[in-house]
Structure 1
Amino acid sequence: MSADRAEARTRHPRHQRRGEARLPAAVATLVAIALYLALPEQLLVAPRFVVPALEIALLVPLIAINPRRVTRQTRLSRILSLALVAVVALSNLGALGLLIHDLVAGAAGDGKALLLGALQVWLTNVIAFGLAYWELDRGGPVKRTQSGRADLPLADFRFSQDENADTVEEVAEGSSVKSDWVPALLDYLYVSVTNSTAFSPTDTMPLSSRAKVLMAVQSVAALLTSLLVIARAVSVLK
């Protein structure tokens, strides 16, 4: 790539005509809603349909603003998208707290239901924090694709593609520098999965304070689910 082309990519939007597809984020949110609806009664932080109804009410206008691809952003849409992620994450952390309380207090109930509930909480944790990383990093999905790199806020995460420009050609061609690569939802869900299984960053490093705080909260939640909740639920089955 010539120096002129590289400079042009720095100045001008990269994927202005396309942006990220709306469907993956919408599906991930709907899966999180379905997982909450399927939780046992004792793990609900509110009447069963209250939290899902609120989440749907936040999701519908976001789909209306960007029905196919996430290319437009208003102040309202930004507030709605962050509020939606916050509701999904906080309601799930609340369910985790109730689950731990029931186990510690000896109100375990049906061991199979608890084990299933722990799995639902863990999966929702992965989705919620994946969406959070997707919404926050470098200004969010609209900013990442519709703005030139010179106009992007500081990155919250450093992906391996951001440092592959000096490797062998078949790897370097997919780097951020040479291909103008930017992370998409799948990349952030992968970060969320690895953080929930390894309880620490793997190939993607948090850079900002807020990213470190979010990854720490997610790691602790996943650790509690994996070690305390699942272990206790399995013991109830015996």
Structure 2
Amino acid sequence: MNSVRPLLENTVLQKPEPRQYDNLSFVNLSDKKKIIFDHCTLGYNNHAILKNINFEIFEGDKVLITGRSGIGKSTLFKSLLNELPLIKGKILIDKQLNKNNFLSNFGIVGQDTYIFSESLRFNLTLGKDIPSSRLIKVLKKVKLEYLANKNYLDTQIGDKGLSLSGGEKRKVKIARALLNKKDFLLVDEGLSGLDDNSRKQIFALLQSLPQTIIEIEHIMSIEDKQKFDQVINLDTK
């Protein structure tokens, strides 16, 4: 940390604070509704990519957002996270999700999961003081049973330690979100690039969680699509 401190303190290299937009309206929603996209037009620089998007997400829903590359799947996520302005419409949010920091409700699972060349414990907790018993419990929950013991918790992983597969790294990412009690998981192509066995394991794991899951996938079998509460095909919008 001492060696990299000059880089961390260099104002030229510091990432600017992301701009926040007024996309979200916090209101009382009924019937376990948590998020409503209300006649939303999404895009960049006032150029519409998706028009008149309307759907509702209920607590615990498993929602698949699909469509061809470039259709605007990730744009939808960015608009929900208030990183990109809506062109028209509003995103209605149950005000219970804004008791603290709205964004603290969300965990992100993507293709790339950063693994520190540190202990498994650190990669799960990111320095927070979390009991070993809880870490072991969540490792079992994400189907990393063979790592769920105190010896492995303090084993270094990354470049110089225990080597994890792509699927195992994504399970670690999901475990981080569970440890931080995220109510929503946004999965952005989280199944891409995995071998068939790992893909099936991660898919089954996500489907089994009580959290509300909003998942972007470019390719999904008809059989797997049928396991979602909602499938939103942006190609038809």
Same fold, TM-score > 0.5, yes or no: no
TM range (shorter): under 0.3
More strand by share: 2
Scaled by the length of structure 1, the TM-score of the pair is 0.25
